[in-house]
Chains A and B, each alone.
Chain A
Amino acid sequence: MTSLVDITQHIAVGMQPLDMEGMALIKAVGNTPLLPLRRVVQDISPDVEIYAKAEWFNPGGSVKDRPAFNIIRTALFEGRLLPGMRLLDSTSGNMGIAYATFGAALDIKVTLAMPDNASPERVSILRALGAEVVFTDPMEGSDGAIRVARQMAQERPDLYYYANQYDNPANWQAHYRGTGPEIAEQTSGAVTHFVAGLGTSGTLTGASRYLRERNPRVQIIAVQPDSPFHGLEGLKHMPTAIRPGIYDPAIPDRTVEIPTEAAHEIVRRLARQEGYFVGISSGAAAAAALQIAAELDEGTVVTVFPDAGYKYLSDEALWVY
């Protein structure tokens, strides 16, 4: 992980004067715990271990703190996010919360295009953090929000810095510098399989590039929904979605498709059997990691749990009591 000193120096030479007190919050990004999966695991070899990066420990509550801060930092350093401009992007929620968190800390105004079927918890959090939300057609999903953000950016390049998380290399680079090295260090280099969901693909792309450089034999497994119509918040069905510019299809050795219902079931089991109260995409990641682990005689499988379950409490389909 890049040290705070490096970050501060980058920003100090940027174009926009910044509130350095805001950096205290940014110090808390990354270095999340690596938690073992124990009771939720069934019928696997005793020589196989499964771990998950607990990304809800980030200050904005999700893995998206990593790319959001790196995107802001890079835009300031390169002089593309200038005083008086607003940061604009499309989001299904977590990236918006991360932008809004650091925007508040660093005095940068944030505008977000988001599908109108986003959960009420997310909308309330964004409003609490002072972000402007532009709702897009729920029938068009996250790709519809991307199109609206692109259009807004084209019409007002003077007003908006379009962060474009799907195409911005600062997204995957955050994971190359943070998530990947942390996993290597926390497993003492023992990681044999890395499993991550595909949304922007930033986590998979960045962490995998680091882990492969370190150990070319590490196996990379991508997770995606089993259908273009799904309930796996934050994940994309790559064959039918707008493909992110940062996605390199050559990176995964395998892609595992998970039905929404399987992710829901594991979310409930993670809460009740492990005390890990996580969101739906964590359930998909866990389902894929368990599937991979079941095929192995020995190994260390690591996945990423992007966020906690708080933002999904209104999902009646998820919490069957």
Chain B
Amino acid sequence: MPTLRIPTPLRPYADGQTEISVQGKTVAEALGDLTTQFPELKKHLFSEAGELRAFVNLFLGEEDVRHLQGIETPLKDDDMLRIIPSIAGGNH
């Protein structure tokens, strides 16, 4: 199963866990499983309209999934997806 890495500020909403195994073949499915396991995370990651909040960055390796196929980016079983705030506007 793919693994999601949770940033410090969100760990209180995920039972304090750093890494969480999720089910899903795409980023969208993985996030869906994550917020099913930990419903409190949902409002921090998604807007009321159900869209990923604009400042939430998802990195697969060193690549922002926005530059891959967005939330439809496929995930392999051994993939690690990192959730990072765009705290200072982007990455480098």
Contacts and interface: CB of A to CB of B under 8 A. Distances in A.
Interface in B28-73: 43-45, 47, 53-57, 66
Category for how many chain B residues contact A: 20 to 34
A314 interface: yes
Given A117-B57, A227-B44, A317-B55, A240 B88 contact: no
B12 A230 contact: no
Given A118-B92, A229-B10, A261 B47 contact: yes
Contacts of B53: 260-261
Contacts of A123: 92
Interface centre among B44, B56, B90, B91 (most CB of A within 10 A): B90
B89 A119 contact: yes
Nearest to B8: A140
A123 B90 CA distance: 12
B62 to A, nearest CB: 11
B86 interface: yes
A84 interface: no
B89 A312 contact: yes
A229 B54 contact: no
Contact of A118 (B7, B9, B55, B88): B88
Contacts of A261: 47, 53-54
A98 B87 CA distance: 19
Given A139-B7, A141-B7, A230-B55, A115 B87 contact: yes
Contacts of B12: 228, 240
B1 interface: no
B91 to A, nearest CB: 6
B25 interface: no
Interface string A91-126: 011000000000000000000000101111111000
Interface in A292-321: 311-318
Interface of A: 92-93, 115, 117-123, 138-144, 227-231, 233, 237, 240, 260-261, 264, 280, 311-318
